[in-house]
Amino acid sequence: MKSKILKVLPLLLAVCMTGCGNTPPGNSSPLQTIAPVALQPGTSESPSTPTQEGSDSADPNITPEPTLAPTPEPTPEPTQTPDLGPEPTKVFESESWWLSYGEPGAQAQPRGNAKQSDLSWYGSYYLGSPDEKVVYLTFDCGYENGNTELILTALKNHNAKATFFMTGQFLETAPDLVKRILEEGHEAGNHTWNHPDMSAFTDKADFQKELDDVANLYLEITGTEIGPYYRPPEGRCTEENLRWAKDLGYHTIFWALAHVDWYTDNQPDPQESINLLTSRVSPGAVVLLHNTSQTNGAILDDLMTKWEELGYSFRPLSDLTGP
């Protein structure tokens, strides 16, 4: 009996080694781990397994990999256009833009010649959100007289971007500055070719030519399309002008803060200008300054510092209007 046990013992050891997940001596490949075959509900036997290619019968111990259905691409939701309601019937209280300010230093948004809610119907702005201490710096560039470089330097000191509204004369006489404005990351707006009273235009073709001539020369100088911003000279505008500008792809841009800086032979006192522009600033204000003003060139760096001390930051018009 003892001798029979000794003869069987090596066989039992071999079975144990190959059935316990060990690698047999002389075989460099590990044994395949076999996953159990899941039973279908209500059955007592394993489901049939498809026959493998090159064999007469399927291995009942190998679970076939499931065929995964392709994941459908999500359908993008359509962009919702805000419902602005019917077109306003009476936007402006007069044809020339004006503002009414509250208590100095209160930082309350001014009342304009039109309601921002009505202007929004045409993609037009003079104000942004009342809840953010942000100002949008804009400069009207009728011509060049030596102050634009000072303005650009001040903007760079504060890492601020502005919009320069250009006329035909500025484009013709200062093409290098036009290129520099673009190169330094600022935006260009359309201030018409001849700086006329646009509220007097009754023909859309004449209105369009004033804008197209500026846009075409700007493209010729820079190789870039002008920004979608239009400012009517002296703020003179009609509802029909707003409609035409919108049809041509422009946002009409007015302002919520300015000072009398355009008389080159009668410039305002620098300190008085700083006091005025800091006492009337308000959240979301579009600021209008002229590049021809010697006072603006002198005070802009200090003025921006004062606004920053009041908690304001500077953003480009594209943040206000959207694309």
Distance CA 87, CA 243 (A): 10
Cβ(233)–Cβ(224) under 8 Å? no
**End-to-end CA, the chain:** 96
Q: Establish whether 140 is a catalytic residue.
A: yes
Distance of CA 194 to the CA centre of its chain: 31
* Nearby residues of 39 by Cβ (< 8 Å), 6 or more positions away: 45, 46, 47
Place of tokens 């590049």: 291
* 166-184 b/e (C-beta count within 10 Å ≥ 16 → b): bbbbbbeebeebbeebbee
Q: Establish whether 290 is a catalytic residue.
A: yes
Distance CA 253, CA 311 (A): 24
The active-site residue out of 140, 186, 259, 261 is 140
Distance of CA 178 to the CA centre of its chain: 23
Cβ(302)–Cβ(274) under 8 Å? yes
Distance CA 315, CA 161 (A): 6
The active-site residue out of 195, 251, 259, 290 is 290
Quick check: helix, strand or coil at residue 258?
coil
Residue whose C-alpha is closest to residue 192's, from 146, 156, 241, 159: 241
Cβ(178)–Cβ(221) under 8 Å? yes
- Residues assigned a catalytic role: 140, 290
